Amino acid sequence: MAVMNPSLSVIIPTRNRHEYLIPVVKTLVEQTNAEIIICDNSDNKLADESVDEFIHAGRVIYQHTTEKLSVVGNFKMALDMSSGDYLIFLGDDDCVGPGIEDIVQWAKNHDVEAVISYKQRFIANYFWPKIKSKYFGDGYAGKLFLRSYSGGIEKINGKSAIASVLKKPGTGLGSMVRAYHGVISRSLVQRVIEKYGHLFGGVSPDIFSATLLSYEVKKACAVDYPFVIPGASPKSTAGEGAAREDTDALHERDHIKRFGPSLRWDERIPAFYAPHTVWAYSQLKALEEINDPLYTFDFPGLYVRCAIHYPEHWGQIKIAFQKWKSAGGKGAVVRILNSLLDEMSSQVKRIYYRFFSSPREHADITDIGEAYKVLFKISGDWKNK
């Protein structure tokens, strides 16, 4: 008798954040029937009696490795541990939201290879206790934020989504299909790996894989529903972003050090560690593998955004600009002006959303399991309209 693969694998690559991972795992076990994959590259093995019980009962597949892995290596190893027909990757302080298994079943029934929940702005997101914001102090700590949503379905053109993101390099995923915080089919993953040799690359596995997946996907949709709860904890990249502590000298970050001497940074990308530069480098590496002349990377736009957000790194930005020009870069003036106008528009929108269209706040939430329960009371299960 053939063994049935699980419908959904929830995959969590993790390192040294067990205090957040444990409540995430408990929530996944309590609220879903998914295969739960934990690929742990922490200094010490996870030690928690309840999680050990889940492992022994077969509800959680756990692997601890002491080998020094990059974030890309950890994602690759975690993928190899999974067997679900559909996959979603999470950070160790994130969680799925209500309705995810209903959405997976709907996708399977309609041959949909990928589903995303949010585009530019989260529908739901949770800030763990003790998180600090540079501008709002502890005003986010222990809160679930929830924007309005319809539950509706919208088709996505993956290749068009890539083109849209390339107009604002380094700013996020836009409408691209994604493994991280998105549902993808194993058949799509296998097709990408067969063509390119891997799913993850660059130094940011989420945007690298999103670019390859979006280019190869045949049928993708956005479901306007919070089936994923992005988390931000004091030790996470999202938490550093809230505190504005996410910039640094490039090769001083452990994130970058773990790639070793084989990493060759593209000189046209400013050589400092920040979300814009890490995402831009990773998407550029994916574009090089796709090798489609229809796509153009907007280097001047990247320089404008880096100059606005990280003026302290002007020296590295100037060097990267000069490298781009010496490599044959043209049209800088027009692109810079367009990017300045676009960035001004983005800042106006950001202020509007912050003060005039702010999400609902739910306070005093101790962990992401409680956040899930609050969200479920509000949203219930997803119903295909």
In angstroms, the CA 23 to CA 18 distance is 9
Q: pLDDT tens across 7-50, in order?
A: 999 999 999 999 999 999 999 999 999 999 999 999 999 999 98
Q: pLDDT tens across 53-93, in order?
A: 999 999 999 999 999 999 999 999 999 999 999 999 999 99
Residues linked to residue 124 through DSSP beta bridges, in sequence order: 146
Q: pLDDT tens across 282-312, in order?
A: 999 999 999 999 999 999 999 999 999 999 9
Q: Token pair for residue 369?
A: 């399991």
Q: What is the CA radius of gyration of the chain?
A: 20
- Give the residue-averaged pLDDT of 160-173: 93
- Judge whether residue 241 has pLDDT over 90: no
Q: pLDDT tens across 265-281, in order?
A: 999 999 999 999 999 99
85 in Cβ contact with 362 (< 8 Å): no
- Give the residue-averaged pLDDT of 95-101: 97
Q: Where are the domains of the chain?
A: 7-380
- Judge whether residue 242 has pLDDT over 80: no
Confidence band, pLDDT 50/70/90 cuts, at residue 51: very high
7-380: CATH topology? Spore Coat Polysaccharide Biosynthesis Protein SpsA; Chain A (3.90.550)
- Give the residue-averaged pLDDT of 119-139: 88
Confidence band, pLDDT 50/70/90 cuts, at residue 243: very low
87: Cβ contacts below 8 Å, ≥ 6 apart: 8, 9, 11, 79, 179, 183, 184, 185, 186, 189
Query: What is the model's pLDDT at position 135?
Result: 64
More confidently predicted of 237 and 226: 226
Confidence band, pLDDT 50/70/90 cuts, at residue 382: confident
